[in-house]
Chains A and B, each alone.
Chain A
Amino acid sequence: MFKAIVGASTLQDALDSVSVLVDECKIRLNEDDLSIRAVDPANVGMVDLTLDAAAFESYEADGGVIGVNLAKLEDFVGMASGDQLVELELDEETRKLNIRMDGLSSTLALIDPDSIRQEPDIPDLDLASEIVLEGAQLDRGIKAGDMVSDHVRLRVNADAEAFHIEAEGDTDDVDFQLDADDLIALTAGAADSLFSLDYLKDMNKAIPKDAEVTVELGEEFPVKVHYAVAEGQGNVTYMLAPRIQSE
């Protein structure tokens, strides 16, 4: 059983954060929240989304799992303007999702959840640094790196209390530096890893520029990037595996 009413923009933003990484996903319709965890085909990037029941106007669910084609679901939900309400209801008989909004009702065929790639367990990581910054700052650093390379090195200089987004191209280099003063918060520890911009750019697309983004970083470890959605009633966590830095 699943029936919920939610603001269109809340749902759209939440789905965007997943669709930048995968085309199909499993949605867990838990009693207290709706959650999605998905990993990209190369098993390098992962997203973990939670929308609390409180993020919905109304929410009833009993723990089922459905598989969806995200592009289709986004198309359907995208028919609503941002402040409209969208009603979602699972038809258990036909295994279809009914999506209703003012003046429009549509039916989305679901995918067998077993046919969707198995998500990995979230690695339990001990990451020494935690950087809290604005989405816009992260965006600027990623754009700067993209000018010269297809990878960026995320690094914390613990002594100088600074966070660096660096990129090394064939001929040109970029170093985007944020001091503790520029950041919302910084816990400085040993942290230095290289990441593919193919993934970071996709993740960055979904991160609102005004969001408070937390970056957890270690030495040659995956990075965790998380931020709140739905006015604090939900959370998105990205995890991205590093490329080994060859010196």
Chain B
Amino acid sequence: MQFADFAARAAELEAEPGDHATVAGVRRLLGEAGDDLPTVVRFLQGRVFPAWDSRTLNVGPALLREAIARAAGPNVDADDVEDELADLGEVGAVAAAYDFGGQRGLSAFGSGSREPLTVTEVDERLREVATADGDGSEDRRVEILFGQFNRACSDEARFLARLVLGTMRIGVGEGTVRDAVAAAFLAETADEAEADDRGVHPADGDNPATAPPDEAVTAVERALQVSNDYGRVAVVARDTGRAGLNAMGLEVGRPVQAMLAQAGTATDGIDAWGEAVVETKFDGARVQVHHDGDETWVFSRNMQDVTDPLPEVVGFVTAELDVPAVLDGEVVAVDEDGDPLPFQAVLRRFRRKYDIERMREEVRVELRAFDCLHSDGVDLLDAPLTARRDRLDDLLGDTDAVESVVRTADPDEVASAERTALDAGHEGVMLKDPESAYEPGRRGRNWLKRKPDVETLDLVVTGAEWGEGRRANLFGTFLLSARVEGGESYETIGKVATGITDEKLQSLTDLLEPYVDHEDGQEVSIDSAVVFEVGYEEIQPSPTYESGYALRFPRFVGVRPDKSPADADTVTRVARLADEQ
């Protein structure tokens, strides 16, 4: 497929506001893709590599601007491109606005014609970009991209630029691709699909004929869960249909998404399931361990390969397992007695690229496995939790890596298990439905994490803004910061404004005014002295605040006169809470 055809389709999808029509558009594109089907599916999602593959292009916005500048020349530099970006707001639009192709290629003189870009070639070149490393590799990445942009027309350049940065902005989400794959390749009869293509059915209506059958969508969904590879699933669906999809299983060495838990209480779980399996909730980093009988890989919750930083986990698994297996668990840091250390100790090991051996001596880590997704050629995703735990016991039951669990219908027993876990230095307990299957990527009601009722953080007030109008002489908004571990510095994490009455604002203003450091217009910076307890719904990564996090829906709970800034929650704790949610 020509890359220009792909770009034209992508432009149509971008202009299409309706979900049904978007699915129909993607379905047509998948039907046309031929041998390029897996690549086209990935490109639609802004990917060169499938989700299980942690390789990246390693091209940031600055490098991309450099490549665009070279293709746009003469006398266009990366700063000029940045100025354009400020005007147009988005790099795809910038790339589309330039007239590329001024620089000829040598082959144009050999064969006498300009060679158009193909989907295959763009894919190959981008993979080449990803593998470039070592001295001068940055130049090489720019050169390869320059060579591609140089041959791109406006629409091609737009989507090439976005693809490089991994965001297509065409309104094609994972659900769209899933539905389109089902509609394109698993429709009940070929006639129906063709009728759709001829536009016999209104594409934007709720016409049942355009919607793929639910079982087809479920089959695609399941295949996606086990493979994490939209490209391959599309090919299997097309070439071997539902039977092929159903035959797809886990592949050792390719991570799947982790199953996630919701917050809940013991009675929630027991009421719904009859009995609950109570597991220790470890204060560690979630990992998925793959062992093929010989080699071992460790993946993070985000499916990044963290094998290298964790050699003792690899060593342990390789020594203990004699059959291929995929395990779910946590990596915890432990002291000399094997007792758990706090989460930040694990962080010092996780994702580390350098000094692995030195850090290994400073922080000891161990595996705590709590689930078994695959064992000796058998996928266990659909098996009940109890059967998976039995299999886990068979594999590692006689090691420290597996802790015994409680199965009970008695909330008091859950509470006592939780006390035991907390006393041992763990974070608490997890409650799981004994009969539930393992659902990758799903945050369902089959796993519950026991949580205190309200999530709150104790944060230091480091700034405020004067209110407006009636409230002009009251602080209206408070800037909050988390403490940096081991020091007296603070990093901002967000602002809290809502939920405070005038009367309350007056007392907070009185409380904080003595600590005002300086004022700049409405904004006031305040010396660290006062601690607020703040509730929130979620912690999100944020480039805006110094801590790198922001609170979603922050809510003022109260002043904590009993706490000094030194007792406030740390950025590390925020990071851990963010990781757990």
Contacts and interface: CB of A to CB of B under 8 A. Distances in A.
A241 B143 contact: no
A52 interface: no
Interface string B72-101: 011101000000000000000000000001
Contact of B74 (A40, A45, A243): A243
Given A71-B136, A150-B74, A243-B104, A125 B143 contact: no
B110 A120 contact: yes
Contacts of A196: 70, 73-74, 103
Interface string A52-74: 00000000000000000001000
A88 to B, nearest CB: 23
Interface residues of B, number: 26
Nearest to A170: B75
B147 interface: yes
A246 B75 contact: no
A64 to B, nearest CB: 25
B144 interface: yes
B146 interface: yes
Contacts of A221: 109
Contact of B110 (A40, A71, A121): A121
A41 B108 CA distance: 15
B102 A244 contact: yes
A70 to B, nearest CB: 10
A47 B555 CA distance: 66
Contacts of B146: 42
A122 B110 CA distance: 7
Contacts of B74: 149-151, 168, 194, 196, 243
B106 A151 contact: no
Contacts of B110: 120-123
A1 interface: no
A120 B106 contact: yes
A150 B109 contact: no
B135 interface: yes
A125 B101 CA distance: 21
Contact of A241 (B103, B128, B135): B103
Contact of A243 (B73, B134, B144, B147): B73
A222 B106 CA distance: 7
Contacts of A198: 70
Given A23-B136, A71-B136, A43 B70 contact: no
A241 B108 contact: yes
B102 A44 contact: no
A123 B106 contact: yes
B107 interface: yes
Contacts of A121: 110
Given A71-B134, A198-B70, A246 B102 contact: yes
A71 B135 contact: yes
A45 B106 CA distance: 7
A23 B140 CA distance: 8
B73 A46 contact: no
A194 B146 CA distance: 17
Nearest to B143: A41
B300 interface: no
A121 to B, nearest CB: 5
A41 B75 contact: no
A244 B108 CA distance: 12
B103 A243 contact: yes
A41 B104 contact: no
A230 B77 CA distance: 38
B105 interface: yes
B150 interface: yes
Interface string B146-168: 11001000000000000000000
Given A151-B74, A198-B70, A43 B105 contact: yes
Given A123-B110, A242-B104, A244-B102, A41 B140 contact: yes
B106 A150 contact: no
B75 A222 contact: no
A28 B44 CA distance: 41
B106 A244 contact: no
A34 interface: no
B149 to A, nearest CB: 9
Contact of A39 (B70, B106, B128): B106
A38 B146 CA distance: 18
A142 interface: no
Contact of B105 (A23, A44, A169): A44
Contacts of B125: 41
Interface in A226-247: 239, 241-244, 246
B144 A41 contact: yes
Given A123-B109, A221-B109, A244-B102, A42 B73 contact: no
A40 to B, nearest CB: 6
A241 B105 contact: yes
B133 to A, nearest CB: 10
A82 B107 CA distance: 37
A242 B144 CA distance: 17
B104 to A, nearest CB: 4
Contacts of B147: 40-44
A122 B106 CA distance: 8
Contacts of B143: 40-42
Contacts of B136: 23, 71
Interface string A155-169: 000000000000011
Given A71-B135, A71-B136, A43 B73 contact: no
A242 B103 CA distance: 6
A246 to B, nearest CB: 7
Interface in B112-147: 125, 128, 134-136, 140, 143-144, 146-147
Contacts of B107: 43, 120, 123
Interface in A99-153: 120-123, 125, 149-151
Contact of A169 (B75, B103, B104, B109): B75
A44 B144 contact: no
Contacts of B77: 150
B73 A151 contact: yes
A122 B490 CA distance: 63
A241 B106 contact: yes
Contacts of B144: 41-42
A51 to B, nearest CB: 23
A246 B98 CA distance: 14
Nearest to A222: B109
Contacts of B73: 150-151, 196, 243
29 contacts: A40-B147, A41-B128, A41-B140, A41-B147, A42-B143, A42-B144, A42-B147, A43-B147, A44-B106, A44-B147, A46-B106, A71-B135, A120-B106, A120-B107, A121-B110, A123-B106, A149-B75, A150-B73, A150-B74, A150-B75, A150-B77, A151-B73, A194-B74, A196-B70, A241-B108, A243-B73, A243-B104, A244-B101, A244-B103
Given A150-B73, A196-B73, 13 more contacts: A41-B125, A43-B106, A71-B134, A121-B110, A125-B109, A170-B75, A221-B109, A241-B103, A241-B109, A242-B103, A243-B74, A243-B103, A244-B104
Interface of A: 23, 39-46, 71, 120-123, 125, 149-151, 168-170, 194, 196, 198, 221-222, 239, 241-244, 246
The 8 A-B pairs at the shortest CB distance, nearest first, are namely A42-B147, A123-B109, A151-B74, A41-B144, A41-B143, A43-B105, A123-B110, A241-B104
